[in-house]
Amino acid sequence: MLVFLTRRLLQIIPTLILVSMLIFGLQQLLPGDPALIMAGEERDPQVLQQIREQYRLNEPIPVQYFYWMKGVLAGNLGESMRLKASVASLVAEKLPVTLQLAGMALLIAICIGIPAGIISAVKKETWWDYAANLFALWGLSTPNFWLGILMIFLFSVTLGWLPASGYVRLSEDWKMSLATTIMPAFVLGNALAAVLMRHTRSAMLQAMGADYVRTARAKGLAEGRVVLKHALRNAMTPVITLLALDFGTLLSGAVLTEQIFTIPGFGKLIVDSVFNRDYAVVQGVVLVTATVYITLNLLADIAYVLVNPRLRG
Amino acid sequence: MSMTLATEENPWARGWRRLRRRKGAMAALFVVVFLIAAALLAPWIAPYDPTQTSFTQVRKAPSWLHWFGTDEVGRDVLSRVLFGARASLSAGLVSVGIAVGAGVPLGLLAGYAGGWVDTVLSRVVDAMLAIPFLILAITLAAFLGPSLGNAMIAIGVTSTPVFIRLTRGQTLGAKVEDYVEAARAVGNPHWRIALRHVLPNIVPPLLVQASLAIAGAIIAEAALSFLGLGQQPPAPSWGSMLNSAQRFLAQAPWMAFWPGFAIFFAVLSFNLLGDGLRDALDPRHK
C-alpha cells in the first residue's frame, strides 16, 4: 500500500508541472504586447511599465515561468487587474458557491442515475430498460444551456414558481438559497445522471452475472435482497470511483449554468475574466481546477485500492 | 491466406450489415445526412437572407410567412437555423479532423515507439485531460481571440488527448498480435508496420470515438458561440442565437426553442451513430 501511494504521488508531480507549463504557455498565444493586453483599457505608460516589471515580461520565458511558479507555490496566484484583488481570494470567495451547486447536482444525479441504472440492468431488454436508455441519451445530448433556458421559461416566466436568476447564500436564507439553486442544480445534474445511469447499468449487469450472485440465489435469498445487498454493493465500487472522474463534467457544466442563472460562482468567474481580459485570473482559476481534479482522481484511485483487497498486494 | 479471405466476409461489409439492422443508428444516420444536406443547400432552401433585418417584422410568432418566427431585429429564425447548421457541423467536423489528424499519429508514435517518447506524450495527455474539457476550450478560445476558426482550433486541440490515449492503447494491443509479429519478421520497416498493419486494425474504435467526439464538439461550439467566443454576429450560429433568445424569453420563446432543438438533434444523432457503430464494429459483440 505504501509503495502504491508513494508511486502514485510521485506520478502526479510531473503532471502538475506540465499543467502549470501549459497554463503559463497560454500567455504566449496572446497576439501583440502582453503588457498592453493585460492592462486592458489602461494606456498609461507608467502602469504598462509596472506590469512589465511585475510579470518580468522583459525576461526570457523560462525565467518568467520560474517566477510565476515560485509565486504559485507560495500560494500567490497573481492579481486581478480588474477587481484589484488577489486571485486566491477570488477563488476562495467563489468556490463555495460552485461547490454548493455541484453538491446538489451530484445528489440529484445520484437519486436519478443509480436507481435508473439498477432498474434497467435488472429489467434488461424490457420497456423499463429502453426508457432508461432513452433518458440517458436525452441527458447526454441536451446542451445544458438550452435546458436551463427552457426551465427558466417554464418555471420562472410562465409559472412564476422560481426566481430566474440570482443567488442567495445558504447561511443567509436557506430556503431562498435552495430556490435559487434548484434549477441550475437540476440542469447540471441531468447530464451527470445520464452518465451515472450508464455506468451503473453496465456495472450491475456484470455483477448480476457473477458467481456470488448465483450463490446467493441458490441459497434461496429473495431476488430483491440479491440485487440490493449482493450485486449492488459490488457494482457500486467502480461507479463511485467514476464519480470522481465526472467531477470535471460538473465543473465544465457549471461554467454555462452559472452564466445562464447569473450565479456568482467559479464558472462565472472564468467567463467574466475571459471577457474582461483578466488573464491572470483565468490562469489562476484553471490551475486551481486542474489541481483539484488531479487530487480527486488520486483520492479515487486510493479509495479503489482500499475497497478492493485484491489490488492491495 | 487468400483462400480464407475469399470465403470470409469483409469486416467493413459485415459492420455495415450490422449497422443497418439497428433502427436507432440508421435513423441517426438519416438525420446526419439530412443536416449536412440542409447546411450545404442553405442558400437555396432558406426562405430568407439570414442576416436581413426588418423593423416591421420584429419578434413575430411562427406563421406561414415565417415558420419558426422572427428574432429581435426581424430576421427569419428558420433561415438562421439552416445557415447556423453550417457553423455547427463544420465546427464538429473540422475540430474532430484536427483532433484525429494530430491525435492518431501521436498515439501511434507513443504506442509503437514506447520508451521515453511514450512517457513524455502520456504525461502531456494526462496534463491536458486534467483540465475539464469545456474550461480548456474556453480558455484556449479566449487566448486565441473570438472567431469561429479559433473556436474550431480550441475545440480540436482540446479533443486531441482523447485520440492520443485511445490510439496509443489500441496500438499497444495490436503490436503484440501475430500479424504484426509476422510483418516484422519479414523485414517491414517500422513506419510501414505502423501505417499498413497496425493502423487499419484500430480504425473501428477510432471511428466510434470520432462520432462521439463530433457530438461533443457541436455542443462545445454552441457553448463557445453562446458565450460570444465562436461565430461572430451577424453570421448565424445556434449557440449565439440561444444567447440573444435568452433576453426575450417572455416575449419570444420560439427564438430559444428552435436553435436549441437543432443542437439537441445534431448531438443526439452523432451520439446514437457512435453507439450504433460501437455495437456494429465490435467483433466481440455478436
B120 inside 8 A of chain A by CB: no
What is the CB neighbour count within 10 angstroms for residue B285?
A: 9
pLDDT digit string (tens) for chain A, length 313 residues:
778 788 888 888 888 888 988 888 887 777 666 677 666 666 777 877 877 777 777 778 888 888 888 888 887 877 777 777 888 888 888 888 888 898 899 999 999 998 999 889 888 888 988 888 888 888 888 888 889 988 888 888 888 888 877 787 877 778 888 888 889 999 999 888 998 898 888 888 888 888 888 888 888 788 877 887 778 877 877 787 777 777 777 888 888 899 888 888 888 888 888 887 777 888 888 888 888 888 888 888 787 777 766 665 5
pLDDT of residue A51: 76
B58 inside 8 A of chain A by CB: no
Cell of B189: 520497416
Helix, strand, or coil here: A42? coil
B153 inside 8 A of chain A by CB: no
Q: At what angle do helices A144-151 and A174-208 cross, to 10 degrees?
A: 130
User: Could you please report the per-residue DSSP string of A85-106?
Assistant: SBHHHHHHHHHHHHHHHHHHHH
| Phi and psi at residue B76, to the nearest 5° | -75, 120
Helix, strand, or coil here: A289? helix
Nearest to B242 among A149, A255, A270 (CB): A149
- Cβ-count burial B139-176 (b if 16+ within 10 Å, e if not): bbbbbbebebebbbbbbbbbbbbbbbbbbbebbbebbe
CB contacts, 8 Å: A143 with chain B:
219, 222-223, 260, 263-264, 267
Which residues lie closer than 8 Å to B84 by C-beta, 6 or more apart? B50, B236, B237, B238, B241, B259, B262
What is the CB neighbour count within 10 angstroms for residue A201?
A: 26
| Widest CA span in chain A | 83
B256 inside 8 A of chain A by CB: yes
Rg (CA), chain B: 22
Distance CA A254, CA A98 (A): 7
pLDDT of residue A203: 86
pLDDT of residue B2: 47
Do B142 and A157 count as a contact with CB atoms less than 8 A apart?
no
What percent of chain B is helix, strand and coil (3-state, nearest 5)? 75, 0, 25
Do B271 and A259 count as a contact with CB atoms less than 8 A apart?
no
User: Could you please report the per-residue DSSP string of A218-270?
Assistant: HTT--HHHIIIIIIHHHHHHHHHHHHHHTHHHHHHHHHHHHHHTT--SHHHHH
Using alpha carbons, list the distances in angstroms from residue A275 to A52, A125, A157, A278, B258. 22, 49, 28, 8, 27
Asked if B216 and B133 count as a contact pair (C-beta separation under 8 A), the reply is yes
Its ipTM equals: 0.83
CB contacts, 8 Å: A257 with chain B:
none
> Nearest-CA residue of chain B relative to A260?
B246
Q: For residue B61, which of B248, B262, B229 has the smallest C-alpha distance?
A: B248
Each residue's pLDDT tens digit, B171-194: 988 888 888 888 888 888 888 888
pLDDT along chain B (286 residues), means of 10: 56 80 85 89 81 76 78 80 89 95 94 89 89 89 88 94 93 85 85 85 88 92 90 86 83 85 92 86 61
CA distance A248 to chain B (A): 5
B151 inside 8 A of chain A by CB: no
Do A18 and B126 count as a contact with CB atoms less than 8 A apart?
yes
Helix, strand, or coil here: B160? helix
CB contacts, 8 Å: B130 with chain A:
15, 19, 290, 293-294, 297
Rounded to two decimals, what is the model's pTM? Answer: 0.87
Distance CA A88, CA B167 (A): 38
CB contacts, 8 Å: A258 with chain B:
none
Do A146 and B263 count as a contact with CB atoms less than 8 A apart?
yes
Written as one letter, the residue type at B167 is T
Asked if B197 and B183 count as a contact pair (C-beta separation under 8 A), the reply is yes
Q: At what angle do helices B238-246 and A144-151 cross, to 10 degrees?
A: 30
Do B130 and A270 count as a contact with CB atoms less than 8 A apart?
no
Cell of B9: 466476409
Written as one letter, the residue type at A102 is A
